[in-house]
Chain A
């Protein structure tokens, strides 16, 4: 048992004026190191809320979220920045690359905030871009790339500080089938290399790449199944 993430009785309530939305209801979840998880559900099911909390972008209203032994709800905004920087790699549906700077600099950015030394930073960015097959697109601006290429840059950026968890929020949502398959191929490879991946999707075709599928409805987990014969590749 090596829980990288442990969630206990998590509740999230959004208040908009007098209206209260109970987005997560008493969610309990343990995630082990090296798992490849797909979180599924319809829109409004609470899966994105959970994703934001897991990514330390949002705080739960109630309950406990422990990431690698750290109680997240007790951290200050700057400590959360530090945690996001070192422990979490984000891949978004809309890529969220910074449009004004080139591919290489986008990948460098998390390492700048991690205060990685210049030389090491450049080496790492090159290595990662080679890994996602964009070693020849370093000086391109994001809008000069195709969707699939943008998402590969985002994956390289997510890996920059070698985080224990990669959070991907509908990473193939804006991509065609071929690009989607390429991206999922990369995720599969990363998983095989031992990375923990949490993926939010509503497409069963994408979810099938994962070795554990958690289904949300109305803020609750209604299904949590591990794939037959799935292993964590980590002994």
Chain B
């Protein structure tokens, strides 16, 4: 008996949906204009959400390059600064030994800058100081020759590994192994031999974000750049990937604080992970804010639907009267109009979703970043648009359903 009732109910649902489609189709232009509000609203929400998601994807890529196990240790906020507070070469050796299995790479976080001229071609060169094995912890894509090795560091060799663009600008060719360039370190001229050429593979979006740097990149052994009595402000650290970066950081900080008779608050252990989290939260917050603004247009679209449904109810007053005379209950009329407005806005939602994804795909292909479209956001968009249809369709539908058949029949 119950299933019988259910079946019978389904029939009238189906009829109502058919009636809704008929009524939408019989007023194509008006339906389209009504849907436009929802289409614009949904497509902007969808595209903003997926731009946000795509940006997060780009961020992940960027920080994958940087390395999640990378950290920097800086001296921070010491009022009575002493020369012993600097990290010395000895400190480096102590840390290397003490955290032998926890830290896989440690090196002063330093770089030098100098103008370099070869055959009247002048470039500005940034020389990043590295220890040996830098290429073991961070990917360095060698084109020719080799990376800075242990021998270079131990012997303080006057060698340099150039980035391909620097080589091209100076020598008009990539393979420049064995050639020398003259640089100026602390007003002292040095001739460095090029032992390797590497290439930075940068995603277009990253270079877009970072902008064009005036400096060309290169690597030099840190022992060559600084005298052995020199002290450093900061250290470049790679933590063993199996361990938590922050807990190793805490250990290192407290060890150093103890060693230097300072408190841990005097040091700043900065991780890429932390940086990524804060960058992600900025991107996330931004896209939520913009999506919220876009959602306002959904409300405007909803009001458009309400308006057109009210017109539709007035137009069909007589039809409602006839239907009521023929036995339509309040519920039947209510559902007919609710289904109509929900269908109207759901179609708008679907069209809007397709438009939004299309726009983002187009934009993504223009600036060549991978587009992330969250299926959940599509589902939410369509359901949300139906909810808007039902919400804003309820008042007109209720008005239609409650109308007195005799007044409705008399209506001309």
Contacts and interface: CB of A to CB of B under 8 A. Distances in A.
Partners in one complex: yes
A77 B330 contact: yes
A58 B332 CA distance: 20
A226 to B, nearest CB: 29
Contacts of A77: 329-330
Interface in B1-17: 8-9, 11-12, 15
Contact of B327 (A99, A113, A118): A113
- Identify which of A81, A86, A161 gathers the most chain B CB atoms within 10 Å of its CB: A81
A96 B319 CA distance: 8
Contact of A100 (B23, B321, B325): B23
Residue with the highest number of chain A CB atoms closer than 10 Å, among B8, B318, B405? B405
Contacts of B324: 81, 84
B409 A82 contact: no
A157 interface: yes
Interface in A42-66: 52, 55, 57-58
B406 A52 contact: yes
A101 interface: yes
B326 A85 contact: yes
B328 interface: yes
A225 interface: no
A115 B326 CA distance: 13
A90 interface: yes
Contact of A90 (B9, B12, B325): B325
Nearest to B402: A77
Interface in B317-347: 318-319, 321-332
Given A96-B325, A96-B409, A115-B11, 16 more contacts: A55-B325, A77-B329, A81-B328, A82-B329, A84-B324, A90-B326, A98-B322, A100-B23, A100-B26, A101-B22, A109-B326, A113-B323, A113-B328, A115-B9, A118-B11, A161-B327
Nearest to A87: B327
A114 B327 CA distance: 8
On chain A, which size bracket covers the interface?
20 to 34
Nearest to A81: B329
Nearest to B27: A100
A91 B319 CA distance: 15
A123 interface: no
A171 interface: no
Contacts of A100: 22-23, 26, 319
The interface centre, meaning the residue of A55, A109, A117, A161 with most chain B CB atoms within 10 A of its CB, is A109
A58 B406 contact: yes
5 contacts: A78-B331, A81-B329, A82-B329, A85-B327, A115-B9
A115 B327 contact: no
Interface string B63-81: 0000000000000000000
A81 B12 CA distance: 16
A34 interface: no
Q: Give the secondary structure class of B's interface.
A: helix
Contacts of B9: 115
A115 B12 contact: yes
A157 B322 CA distance: 11
A14 to B, nearest CB: 11
Most chain B CB neighbours (cut-off 10 Å) among A77, A90, A112, A115: A112
Given A58-B406, A81-B324, A96-B409, A112 B330 contact: no
Nearest to B14: A118
Contacts of B8: 115, 117
A156 B23 CA distance: 24
A52 B407 CA distance: 11
Contacts of B405: 57
Contacts of B409: 57, 92, 96
A94 to B, nearest CB: 9
B11 A117 contact: yes
A85 B323 CA distance: 10
A84 B327 contact: yes
B327 A82 contact: yes
Contacts of A115: 8-9, 11-12
B151 to A, nearest CB: 89
Of all A-B residue pairs in the complex, the 10 with the closest CB atoms, nearest first, are A85-B327, A113-B327, A115-B8, A81-B329, A78-B329, A110-B326, A57-B406, A96-B322, A57-B405, A58-B406
A35 to B, nearest CB: 22
Of listed B8, B26, B322, B406, residue having the most chain A CB within 10 A? B322
Contacts of A98: 319, 322-323
Q: Which of B9, B26, B319 has the most CB of A within 10 A?
A: B319
A112 B325 contact: no
Interface in A17-72: 52, 55, 57-58
A38 B117 CA distance: 115
A188 B56 CA distance: 79
Contact of B332 (A96, A99, A101, A113): A113
A161 B326 CA distance: 10
Given A58-B406, A100-B22, A100-B23, A81 B11 contact: no
B326 A113 contact: yes
A157 B326 contact: yes
Contacts of A101: 22
